């Protein structure tokens, strides 16, 4: 049975239909030693990877990008306060 793919966008939760042109987003830290946000057109293999966010469209991608940027900033602040 196929698992339902739901949009990860805040307050969205839309379910993906077979012919929808969705996007994928994920974050990685390793390559540049800092948090990087990736955005790619839908790909079945990438979509199955752990930590990949399924995104229904531009608006949700923008919201998730905004979350990511906010998280990075607040982490920086926490680090600065801690050190």
The residues that touch Zn ion, with contacts defined as CB under 5 A, are: 7, 9, 12, 14, 56, 60
Minimum CB separation of residue 36 from Zn ion in Å reads 22
What phi, psi does 81 have (nearest 5°)?
-70, -40
Q: Tell me if 9 sits within 8 A of 60, measured CB to CB.
A: yes
For Zn ion, which is the closer residue by CB, 10 or 70?
10
Comparing CB distances to Zn ion, the nearer of 2 and 58 is 58
- Output the smallest distance, CB 14 to Zn ion, in A: 5
- Burial of residue 83 (CB within 10 Å: 0-12, 13-18, 19+) is exposed
């Amino acid at each position: 049975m196929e698992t339902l793919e739901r949009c990860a966008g805040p307050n969205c939760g839309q379910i993906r239909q077979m012919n929808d042109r969705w996007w994928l987003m994920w974050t990685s830290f390793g390559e540049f030693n800092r948090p990087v946000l990736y955005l790619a057109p839908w790909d079945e293999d990438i979509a199955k990877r752990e930590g990949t966010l399924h995104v229904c469209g531009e608006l949700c991608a923008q919201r998730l990008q905004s979350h990511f940027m906010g998280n990075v900033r607040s982490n920086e602040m926490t680090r600065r306060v801690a050190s």
